[in-house]
Amino acid sequence: MAKRPYPLSKVYGLLEPGPVVLVTTASKGRANIMTMSWHTMMEFEPPLVGCVISGRNASFDTLKATRECAINIPTLELAKQVVGIGNCSGIKVDKFAKFGLTPAAASEVQAPLIAECYASLECRLADTRLVNSYNFFILEVVHAWVDSAVKKPQTLHHRGNGLFAVAGETVKLRSAMK
């Protein structure tokens, strides 16, 4: 995929629909990936994203220590990898190798981007006030990449227990909403 820089002002439209995402982190040259569905936009620009990353995930410690990550948005073609990544721990496994994914260098963070995902958001940790209470991290998106050839991404939306709704038809309504 050929991803190009994407305006930060439009990032909300990538995450607001609620897709499952793959969060990448890196520490001491070792990259990891986790599957995440508990996230929300919190501000348009600069884009802020709130997300829950359980302390049971290796990514929790790496994000706390490095204060950087990337949010990568997969589509239907990656459904098996999405679930597989969610079912194993990066402490034991090199998930890029195990799941045949390609790390790509980010521009502003050490965490790698996932080349096979149609969009990637480079993030820095912006607020940790609710980490102790809820494992809730607030991230600022500092750089965004999107494959502009993907017009209607078939994103995955997790209904629990490995059941996903795939983004299907689109409807456009006249709206004053952003």
Quick note: the x/- pattern for a second copy over 21-60, rule CB under 8 A, is --------------x-xxxxxxx----x-xxx--------
133: contact with a second copy by CB under 8 A: yes
CA angle 83, 171, 51 (to 5 degrees): 40
157: contact with a second copy by CB under 8 A: yes
**Number of residues that this document lists for the chain:** 178
User: Given candidates 10, 46, 122, 125, which one binds a second copy under the rule CB under 8 A?
Assistant: 10
d(CA 23, CA 130): 19
Binding segment toward a second copy, per CB under 8 A, in 25-33, 60-68, 102-110, 160-168: 160-168
d(CA 95, CA 122): 19
Tokens 């521009």, residue?
Answer: 107
Nearest to a second copy of 50, 90 (CB atom)? 50
In single-letter form, the type of residue at position 30 comes to R
- The phi-psi region of residue 32 (left if phi > 0; otherwise alpha if psi is between -120 and 50; otherwise beta) is beta
d(CA 176, CA 99): 42
172: contact with a second copy by CB under 8 A: yes
- The footprint of a second copy (CB under 8 A) covers 10, 12-13, 16-19, 35, 37-43, 48, 50-52, 76, 79-80, 83, 86-87, 127, 129-130, 133-134, 136, 138, 152, 155-178
